[in-house]
Chains A and B, each alone.
Chain A
Amino acid sequence: QQQVKQSPQSLIVQKGGISIINCAYENTAFDYFPWYQQFPGKGPALLIAIRPDVSEKKEGRFTISFNKSAKQFSLHIMDSQPGDSATYFCAASRENYGQNFVFGPGTRLSVLP
């Protein structure tokens, strides 16, 4: 019940294209769903996050879509750029368990120039 599944494992997109990464969870008690971006040799950095009271959140070229009934959420990167090439992790957490994040296995995104 604690698992967060993530797909695809790797993704190659042309510059200007749309990158889509999907995640699914089982525990309905999760109430916070962040996406982290990690560049080689660096720690993960928070990219964007959503709570289940909204179905979509957009920040610049990054959008999270959330489907509570399906227990799925996805990250869309519009107009993908070579600088977006990184590993992306979805995660989930519960209120009052602020440090107990469960992470997906990650998606390595390569954006070709």
Chain B
Amino acid sequence: NAGVTQTPKFQVLKTGQSMTLQCAQDMNHEYMSWYRQDPGMGLRLIHYSVGAGITDQGEVPNGYNVSRSTTEDFPLRLLSAAPSQTSVYFCASSSGLDYYEQYFGPGTRLTVT
């Protein structure tokens, strides 16, 4: 199993550009989520999904969109990038059996200039 994969690893955007961060998992996990990590602030939940077709907002959802058309994929879309969205983004997944244990991807480092 590859676990949770994220692409790209690094990305530089100009203010106003849009892009999609990709996340995929091959563990057949129902739960998937997106976090951003900023220095001194830990990880903050952006959006999450409890299954295909079901998504909900986390703590910091503004400026981001998600969709979940398959169990495997959970892309995160930045609609109009802003410098405040410069961060490291992590995708995570967990099963419905012991859904507390989350498996994190390697992260995407995004810089918005």
Name which of A42, A44, A102, A106 has the most chain B CB atoms within 10 A of its CB: A44
Please report the C-alpha to C-alpha distance between residue A104 and residue B59 in the assembled complex, in whole angstroms: 14
A41 CB, nearest partner CB in chain B, Å: 8
A103 x B42 contact (CB < 8 A): yes
Contacts A49-B100, A103-B43 given: A43-B48 contact, CB under 8 Å?
no
List the A residue with the shortest CB-CB distance to B33. A99
Contacts A32-B100, A93-B100, A98-B100 given: A43-B45 contact, CB under 8 Å?
no
B40 x A101 contact (CB < 8 A): no
A66 at the interface (CB under 8 A from B): no
Please report the C-alpha to C-alpha distance between residue A34 and residue B94 in the assembled complex, in whole angstroms: 14
Name which of A43, A44, A98 has the most chain B CB atoms within 10 A of its CB: A43
Residues 90-113 of A at the B interface (beta carbon under 8 Å): 91, 93, 98-106
A interface residues, Cβ below 8 angstroms from B: 2, 4, 6, 9, 32, 34, 41-46, 49, 89, 91, 93, 98-106
Chain B residues in 8 Å Cβ range of A44? 43, 90, 104
B52 CB, nearest partner CB in chain A, Å: 15
Task: Please tell me the number of chain B residues within 8 Å of chain A, measured between CB atoms.
Answer: 28
B68 CB, nearest partner CB in chain A, Å: 12
Cross-chain pairs A/B with CB under 8 angstroms, 19 sampled: A2-B59, A34-B101, A41-B106, A43-B105, A43-B107, A44-B43, A45-B104, A89-B42, A89-B43, A99-B33, A99-B45, A99-B48, A99-B49, A99-B50, A100-B58, A101-B43, A101-B102, A102-B59, A104-B42
- Residue in contact with B42 in the complex, picked from A93, A100, A106, CB distance below 8 Å: A106
Please report the C-alpha to C-alpha distance between residue A6 and residue B41 in the assembled complex, in whole angstroms: 10
Chain B residues in 8 Å Cβ range of A32? 100
Residues 73-109 of B at the A interface (beta carbon under 8 Å): 90, 92, 94, 99-107
Please report the C-alpha to C-alpha distance between residue A6 and residue B49 in the assembled complex, in whole angstroms: 27
Residues 8-57 of B at the A interface (beta carbon under 8 Å): 31-33, 35, 40-45, 48-50
